[in-house]
């Protein structure tokens, strides 16, 4: 059995081919067959970009239109201001004495606009002679500087038209000092005096508040004015002027400005809430004892009518 196995092994060795000699030359590998040439590509072309309008959302907000030029805005605003000024001057000629400062200021600021040029032409035919500004040596009375508590300074009276319409001195009654308000009111102890025609009326240094208006039941169909009166003293006769400013402090109100020499009306105008009015005018040749009245009323109702007032009387 062993002899048989050995014989088979020997037989297998003889059938194995001899290894190749190291010195034998190596044959080069055959080159692969050449590939066919690729067709030439066309020259690159620039891609055209086509803008496609975006779809609008159904509730999209449109952008605001472009604002007009600044000059167009200025012209439009000037036209609006001039329209209001001109309407006031034409409807109430007695207000022109109080409007001249406003007109001149408008022309100064908007003189290059069409409205400013029209206003300048208007003022040429409607202008009144304005007095020069006051100086200390020519000042006869100054509302704010002369204000005294408890008792008015000589020449001054603080009044209201308790007995009738404004414009007649016989209807006026003095206001009294009310320490709790630091001003002159219709009652020395009560303020506001509910249920009375003088109600909120008050005069303080540099302003005050009118009484009730003609549309309010307690006022009995009469506008109740806060009245600042000055009586010319000895040595003060002559050509007299007045200049000042009235401000309606509260935006929702309006006040009625009246100017009198004795019982003679010298001007009237309204001042709307949140605005002021500069006024200046000659009062004429006055004599000792003549009284100048500057009165501020409620324009039908006394709501939101707190006002500021300063003025100077001079020669």
Give me the tens of pLDDT residue by residue for the chain, a chain 315 residues long.
544 454 444 445 544 454 444 444 445 545 555 545 544 545 544 445 445 444 444 444 454 554 566 678 989 999 998 988 888 777 666 667 777 777 888 888 999 999 999 989 888 887 777 889 999 999 999 999 999 999 999 999 999 999 999 999 999 999 999 999 999 999 999 999 999 999 999 999 999 999 999 999 999 999 999 999 999 999 999 999 999 999 999 999 999 999 999 999 988 888 989 998 889 999 999 999 999 999 999 999 999 999 999 999 999
Query: 177 and 260 share a domain?
Result: yes
Query: 146 and 91 share a domain?
Result: no
Domain range enclosing 87 = 75-126
CA–chain centroid gap for 171, Å, is 39
CA–CA gap between residue 55 and residue 177 (Å, rounded): 75
Q: How many domains does the chain have?
A: 2
Query: 117 and 159 share a domain?
Result: no
Query: 211 and 122 share a domain?
Result: no
DSSP-derived secondary structure for 236-295: --EEEEEEEEEEE-STT-EEEEEEEETTEEEEEEEEETT-EEEEEEEEEEE-TT-EEEEE
What's the pLDDT score for residue 68? 60
Query: 85 and 203 share a domain?
Result: no
What's the pLDDT score for residue 218? 93
What's the pLDDT score for residue 43? 53
Domain termination site, one of 126, 157, 185: 126
Query: 100 and 122 share a domain?
Result: yes
CB 152 within 8 A of CB 158: yes
CB 299 within 8 A of CB 254: yes
* H helix count then E strand count, the chain: 5, 14
In a domain, 275, yes or no: yes
**Residue for token pair 């007045």:** 242
In a domain, 229, yes or no: yes
Query: 148 and 241 share a domain?
Result: yes
What's the pLDDT score for residue 130? 81
CA–CA gap between residue 253 and residue 271 (Å, rounded): 9
The CATH number that applies at residue 239 is: 2.60.120
Whether this prediction's pTM lies above 0.75 is answered by no
CA–CA gap between residue 27 and residue 15 (Å, rounded): 26
Query: 117 and 263 share a domain?
Result: no
Query: 101 and 180 share a domain?
Result: no
Query: 296 and 156 share a domain?
Result: yes
Closest by CA to 297, choosing from 237, 264, 257, is 257
In a domain, 14, yes or no: no
In a domain, 36, yes or no: no
Query: 224 and 270 share a domain?
Result: yes
Query: 108 and 149 share a domain?
Result: no
């Amino acid at each position: 059995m062993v002899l048989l196995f050995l014989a088979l092994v020997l037989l297998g060795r003889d059938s194995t081919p001899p290894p190749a000699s190291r010195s034998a030359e190596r044959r080069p590998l055959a080159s692969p067959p050449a590939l066919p040439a690729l067709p030439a590509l066309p020259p690159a072309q620039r891609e055209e970009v086509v803008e496609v309008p975006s779809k609008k959302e159904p509730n999209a907000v449109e952008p605001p239109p472009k604002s007009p030029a600044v000059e167009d805005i200025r012209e439009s605003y000037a036209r609006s201001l001039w329209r209001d000024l001109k309407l006031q001057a034409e409807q109430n000629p007695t207000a022109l004495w109080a409007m001249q400062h406003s007109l001149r200021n408008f022309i100064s600021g908007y003189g290059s606009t069409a409205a400013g040029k029209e206003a300048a032409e208007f003022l040429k035919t409607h202008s009144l002679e304005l007095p020069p500004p006051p100086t200390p040596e020519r000042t006869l009375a100054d509302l704010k500087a002369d204000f005294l508590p408890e008792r008015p300074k000589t020449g001054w009276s603080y009044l209201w038209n308790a007995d009738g319409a404004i414009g007649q001195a016989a209807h006026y009654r003095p206001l009294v000092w009310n320490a709790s308000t630091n001003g002159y009111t219709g009652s020395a102890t009560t303020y506001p005096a509910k249920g009375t025609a003088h109600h909120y009326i008050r005069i303080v240094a540099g302003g005050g508040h009118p009484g009730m208006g003609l549309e309010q039941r307690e006022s009995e169909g009469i506008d109740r004015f806060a009245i600042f009166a000055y009586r010319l003293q000895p040595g003060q006769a002559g050509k007299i002027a007045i200049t000042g400013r009235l401000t309606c402090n509260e935006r929702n109100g309006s006040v009625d400005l009246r100017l009198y020499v004795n019982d003679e009306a010298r001007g009237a105008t309204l001042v709307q809430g949140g605005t002021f009015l500069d006024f200046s005018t000659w009062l004429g040749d006055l004599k000792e004892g003549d009284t100048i009245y500057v009165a501020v009323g409620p324009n039908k109702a006394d709501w939101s009518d707190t006002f500021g007032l300063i003025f100077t009387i001079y020669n």
